[in-house]
Amino acid sequence: MEERRETGAESRAEAEGSQAPAPEAAIQDRLASDFSPLRWSDGAIEILDQTLLPREEKWLRCTEPQQVAEAIRRLSVRGAPAIGVAAAYGLVVAVAQGGAEAFAPAYDLLLATRPTAVNLRWALEQGQQIHDAGPEELETALLAWAQELHRRDAEINRAIGEHSVRLFAPGDRVLTHCNAGALATAGYGTAVGVIRSAWTAGALAAVWVDETRPLLQGARLTAWELQKLEIPFRIVTDNSVGALMSRGHVDKVVVGADRIAANGDVANKIGTYTVAVMAQRHGVPFYVAAPRSTIDPRTATGAEIPIEERDALEVTEVFGTRVAPLEAPALNIAFDVTPAELVAGIITEVGVLEPPYEESIAAALSRP
């Protein structure tokens, strides 16, 4: 195996790069403590519109399930756990608006928004159970459940972070792909939560942030979060990963997941598989951080995970500006599957799962 770690100041400086100025304290406090991209306010679910970040911080007020569904579809709220929590509130506003009869159509509408993140189905099925139990006050029961789901997800992410600390050594430089931060969850983040915990424990030198084409969740969102947290980072193009690893500038990879099959295969943002193959080639441990709600025991292997394909315009245009010739065809695969054999560990709220994943996943899911 080739030598990966350079402990000299030069390599660390390359990863740290020149940082943007420190963010204002108020925003940093918000992100560092209980920042969430979702908030329940006066009968509405408010969603921080991530399509506008980092340029603008605008909250969308949703009082109808159609508005929540549209926010999920257009990625105003995105990231598997955040989608699940948003959908839960989508059921609440549906029943608040249209009574119990509005539940089933809202369920179908929300479920159809995005196919890959299993947290969506996971949350909706819990809402269905509450509905089927026939509580006297369905709206009140759904709201209490959605708020508990919201609170619990942030708590789970902190536990994921705590379990991950032992995986890091002082001076580690970590690469992450897409955004699996507070923005992608109810708070704190999964992969970014791991990075936060490692940083707090003093075991991290810097973070490489893949820009994540085509919608730049890394360059826009992960960078936004890390900057507010004052964690040193540098953005790189997705296709830099081979060069970075071959130069020995990456010690660990940590990414999130949209769905983990029963055998440990992992669906995550397109480009994750490429990172995992490169990591194996260069002997860099590749970790996945995810709550157990992202593990789908009903999906045996990655081959069965439904993979979302999105509008080709997201590839041929860059935020509304055409970069490809007019009418040039494009394929926009939103996720890929990393085979379990490339995954060094799955960091969950009940501990770090190791191969063989069929066994460790089944054991983790059987725990309370």
Burial 80-109 (b: 16+ CB within 10 A, else e): bbbbbbbbbbbbbbbbbeeeeebbeebbeb
In the complex, least distance from residue 357 CB atom to ligand MRU, rounded to whole angstroms: 18
Q: How far is the CB of 25 from ligand MRU (least distance, A)?
A: 26
Q: Write down the catalytic residue from 49, 251, 258, 265.
A: 258
Residue nearest to ligand MRU (CB): 256
Would you give the DSSP letter of residue 273?
H
Q: Would you say the C-alpha torsion 79, 30, 139, 290 has a positive or negative sign?
A: positive
CA distance 131 to 213: 40
**HSE-CB for 99 with a 13 A CA cutoff:** 1
Tell me the β-bridge partners of 60.
47
What Rg, from alpha-carbon coordinates, does the chain have?
20
Give, in order, the Cα–Cα distances in Å from 82 to each of 50, 69, 89: 12, 13, 11
Pairing state between β 44-48 and 59-62: antiparallel
- 337 backbone dihedrals φ, ψ, rounded to 5°: -115, 125
Give min distance, CB of 323 to ligand MRU, in A: 20
Residue 117 or 253: the one with the smaller Cβ distance to ligand MRU is: 117
CA atoms of 336 and 348, how far apart (whole Å): 21
Please name which of 173, 269, 181, 171 lies closest in space to residue 223, comparing C-alpha atoms.
Answer: 181
| Shortest spacing between CB 174 and ligand MRU, in angstroms | 15
E strands of 31-99, at which residues? 38-41, 44-48, 59-62
274 three-state secondary structure: helix
Contact residues toward ligand MRU (CB under 6 A) are: 75, 78-81, 117, 178, 180, 184-185, 190, 217, 256-258, 268-269, 334
Determine contact, residues 43/139, Cβ cutoff 8 Å.
no
CB 291 within 8 A of CB 81: yes
DSSP bridge pairs for 38 = 47
Between 121 and 131, CB nearer to ligand MRU: 121
CB of 169 to ligand MRU, least distance (A): 24
**Does residue 258 have an active-site annotation?**
yes
Contact yes or no for 36/187 (Cβ under 8 A): yes
Handedness of CA 210, 182, 286, 292 (dihedral sign): negative
- Tell me which residues are annotated as active site: 258
